[in-house]
Structure 1
């Protein structure tokens, strides 16, 4: 079963490293707010879990925050490789950070997971909006890889409850939604092309 965890991590790297390179070359323009917070949230979760000992179930989280942090850092290399941050993005980022602080302070694991999901939703909103309005500034591949990587978490689970299931399920949903939103323009172009023939 641990084999699937490594497969998921490999898939994540295969798609996120080219996305990072596309960021450097300016072919995609990630929203810094989303990618920063997507790095912070799993990093907190990883190191919090690591304080209680290492398990292979933490490996997908390690890959997740390290690859998103790489993309965030790459967005500083090329001035054209970022999306301008507006008031809406800033507000989402601040509220998400506040939620993360409360998450780090809580001792209730179910509340902590719920707050982590809220923080991640708020971090995702700027990219969801940008992808809907300007899908050409994004790539669907890393989000599809995120769905697969989150799904591999189920192979490492020994206990099936809210604490273990909530975040992987959420990650599958939000990454799937982002991939579909980015792909919709290509699908629409394909449909329009067929109609014009």
Structure 2
């Protein structure tokens, strides 16, 4: 059962980034290069925090898909993205630096993970705002597929130490909210 859940994490997580890549290549979505670099760094710190905190394989796999998917989107943004840098990207980068410093100084990978997820949440506020105002601006496919990957990751981590739940639970909540907002246009 555990292997089946992990395969579902891999399948749905990867599919979400295929949808994201298609949105860039076909639908004309043009992400900010600097934003995508920040998201890639966040994904790297998150994976390191998940591994360093002793999380189980379901959470590690989800974090790995998150990193790989963000790497693909970042590379595509170099080709098809915009070059603007906003204040929010600087704030997220500063929070990310704090998370790394906390880990290095206090040897606290779980605290670092939580701080990096805070940076993700702060960086996600404009996306939430945009989806609230214009639900059609967000890809329900992308968000719902990563939500499903997160749910399967959460199920795969049940019975493991509590720190294993942090990463998938955060994404169940974050992507669940985004999925709900993106699907509003269909009601």
| TM-score normalised by length of structure 2 | 0.77
Structure 1 vs Structure 2 CA RMSD: 3.0
After TM superposition, the structure 1 stretch with the greater mean CA deviation from structure 2, 19-28 or 52-61, is 52-61
Deviations 1:95-130 (A, max 9, x none): 333333334424234423331321221222232233
Alignment of 1:178 with 2:174, yes or no, is no
Give the paired residue count. 183
The answer to whether the Cα contact below 8 Å between 2:36 and 2:73 also exists between their aligned partners in 1 is yes
Taking a change above 3 Å as real, the CA distance of residues 131 and 54 of structure 1, as seen in their structure-2 partners, is closer
Partner residue in 2 for 1:77 = 79
Structure 2: any 5+ residue segments left out of the alignment? Answer: none
Q: Which of structures 1 and 2 has the larger relative contact order (alpha carbons within 8 angstroms, sep 6+)?
A: 2
**Offset at residue 73 of structure 1 (A):** 1.9
Taking a change above 3 Å as real, the CA distance of residues 71 and 33 of structure 1, as seen in their structure-2 partners, is same
State which structure, 1 or 2, has the greater radius of gyration over its C-alpha atoms.
1
Partner residue in 2 for 1:115 = 115
Partner residue in 2 for 1:97 = 96
Structure 1: any 5+ residue segments left out of the alignment? Answer: 191-197
Partner residue in 1 for 2:160 = 159
**Offset at residue 4 of structure 1 (A):** 0.9
Partner residue in 2 for 1:141 = 141
Distance 2:95 2:5 in 1: 31
Q: What SS does structure 1 have at the residue aligned with 2:100? A: helix
Instruction: Choose the corresponding residue for 1:64, options 28, 53, 66.
Output: 66
Distance 2:121 2:169 in 1: 13
